């Protein structure tokens, strides 16, 4: 097992996930690491997120967020913020964190200028290579939460959410290793009732607006019918997430682009590498699940992504729906 070269942390720490995507792994890892650091006598907080989903909005509470970032105008009742930089600056002025720990994302996914505060990264996305030094611990694994369990001895039960969601309920991303890590959590408070309750909270009612948005969207299929490229008319993150989930029932490969340029890519084909594709469009992720960032209204980028996506799907261009 690889031992992190970084063994000690500062007294005042800000723990954050990437600005996007906000998901079960980043949120659960943030919650778990804050709890772990506080038990060690350190002062640890996080920031409001730029978005939040009903599926995971029960994980982070106001207690996790530094009070300076909860001031009027900086955060919403859902503990989100429209200006991550302003929220951070407020915390920087009051809390004066000595370091930032970024979990489940690369340094350029931070989403705000740290103003000279050092950033330590813990991530399982290894497209740009592995790293183990004073600046980062980046190693392959089923989830960032899995790295916390295996290498940093963080055993908070909430990390079950990290493992379940990032492996899509043990269907990909090293599921056998995820099972072994889940077993470790059962030695530290994860029991039947807790795991059942967590999974119940993760199952949320579908929004009927998903159907309406799909009617308004541009939908094109690959020639072999296995890939679907969808351009939404909305930048609503919750609807985007729901549409990605629904389209997964109808296509083996999918790309769903929000109106603000954020694109989700997924495939069940282990021979395709969507992380490599996403990296060409300011993104990254896993082979089977990745995200890209296009310029808002960037028609040329959109067309380039569509062509590259369909090239991967069937070696050709799309057939109109």
Tell me what pLDDT residue 216 has.
96
Mind listing the pLDDT tens digit for each residue in 190-219?
999 999 999 999 998 788 999 999 999 999
Structure confidence at residue 128 as a pLDDT band (50, 70, 90): confident
* Inter-residue contact 162 to 29 (CB < 8 Å): yes
Tell me what pLDDT residue 316 has.
46
Structure confidence at residue 137 as a pLDDT band (50, 70, 90): very high
Distance of CA 225 to the CA centre of its chain: 28
What lies within 8 Å, CB to CB, of 226 at 6+ separation is 251, 252, 253, 313, 314
Residues in the chain: 321
DSSP state of 46: B
Q: Which residues face 253 on adjacent strands?
A: 227, 267
Whole-model pTM? 0.82
Mind listing the pLDDT tens digit for each residue in 147-180?
999 999 999 999 999 999 999 899 888 999 999 9
Taking residues 76-100, report their average pLDDT.
96
Mind listing the pLDDT tens digit for each residue in 254-282?
999 999 999 999 999 988 999 999 999 99
Tell me what pLDDT residue 7 has.
84
Taking residues 11-31, report their average pLDDT.
96
Taking the C-alpha atoms of residue 195 and residue 12, their distance in angstroms, rounded to an integer, is 31
Sheet containing 99-103, strands listed edge to edge, beginning at the edge strand earlier in sequence: 43-45, 12-16, 99-103, 118-123, 136-138, 131-132
DSSP string, 243-305: HHHHHTTT-SEEEEE-TTSEEEEEES-TT--HHHHHHTTT-EE-SSEEEEEPPTT-HHHHHHH
Structure confidence at residue 286 as a pLDDT band (50, 70, 90): confident
DSSP state of 64: G
Mean pLDDT of the chain: 93
Domains defined along the chain, listed by start? 12-202 (3.90.1640.10), 209-320 (3.10.310.30)
Tell me what pLDDT residue 17 has.
98
Tell me what pLDDT residue 314 has.
80
Taking residues 8-25, report their average pLDDT.
95
Q: Which residues face 293 on adjacent strands?
A: 262
Q: Indicate if the pLDDT at residue 319 is higher than 70.
A: no
Indicate the SS3 state at residue 91.
Answer: helix
Taking residues 117-128, report their average pLDDT.
93
Taking residues 58-74, report their average pLDDT.
94
* Inter-residue contact 123 to 138 (CB < 8 Å): yes
* Inter-residue contact 278 to 292 (CB < 8 Å): yes
């Amino acid at each position: 097992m690889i031992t992190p070269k970084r063994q000690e942390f500062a007294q005042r720490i800000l723990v954050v996930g990437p600005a996007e995507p906000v998901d079960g792994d980043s949120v659960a890892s943030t919650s778990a690491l804050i709890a772990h650091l506080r038990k060690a006598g350190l002062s640890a907080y996080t920031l409001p997120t730029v978005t939040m989903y009903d599926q995971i909005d029960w994980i982070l509470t106001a207690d996790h967020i530094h009070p300076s970032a909860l001031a009027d105008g900086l955060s919403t009742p859902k503990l989100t913020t429209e200006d991550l930089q302003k929220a951070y600056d407020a915390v920087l002025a009051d809390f004066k964190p000595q370091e930032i720990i970024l979990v489940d994302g690369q340094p350029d996914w931070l989403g705000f200028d740290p103003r000279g505060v050092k950033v330590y990264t813990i991530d399982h996305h290894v497209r740009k290579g592995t790293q183990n030094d004073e600046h980062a611990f980046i190693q392959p694994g089923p989830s960032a939460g899995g790295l916390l369990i295996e290498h940093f001895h963080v055993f908070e039960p909430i990390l079950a959410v990290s493992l379940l969601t990032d492996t899509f309920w043990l269907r990909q991303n090293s599921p056998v290793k995820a099972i072994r890590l889940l077993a470790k959590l059962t030695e530290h408070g994860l029991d039947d009732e807790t795991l059942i309750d967590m999974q119940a909270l993760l199952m949320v009612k579908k929004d009927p607006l998903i159907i309406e948005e799909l009617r308004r969207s541009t939908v094109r299929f690959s020639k072999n019918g296995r890939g679907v490229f969808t351009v939404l008319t909305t930048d609503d993150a919750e609807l985007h997430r729901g549409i990605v989930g629904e389209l997964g029932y109808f296509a083996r490969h999918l790309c769903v682009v929000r109106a603000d340029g954020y694109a989700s890519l997924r495939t069940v084909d282990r021979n395709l590498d969507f992380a490599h594709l996403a990296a060409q469009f300011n993104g990254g992720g896993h082979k089977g699940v990745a995200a890209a960032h296009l310029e808002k209204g960037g028609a040329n980028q959109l067309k380039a992504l569509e062509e590259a996506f369909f090239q991967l799907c069937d070696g050709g261009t799309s057939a109109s729906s």
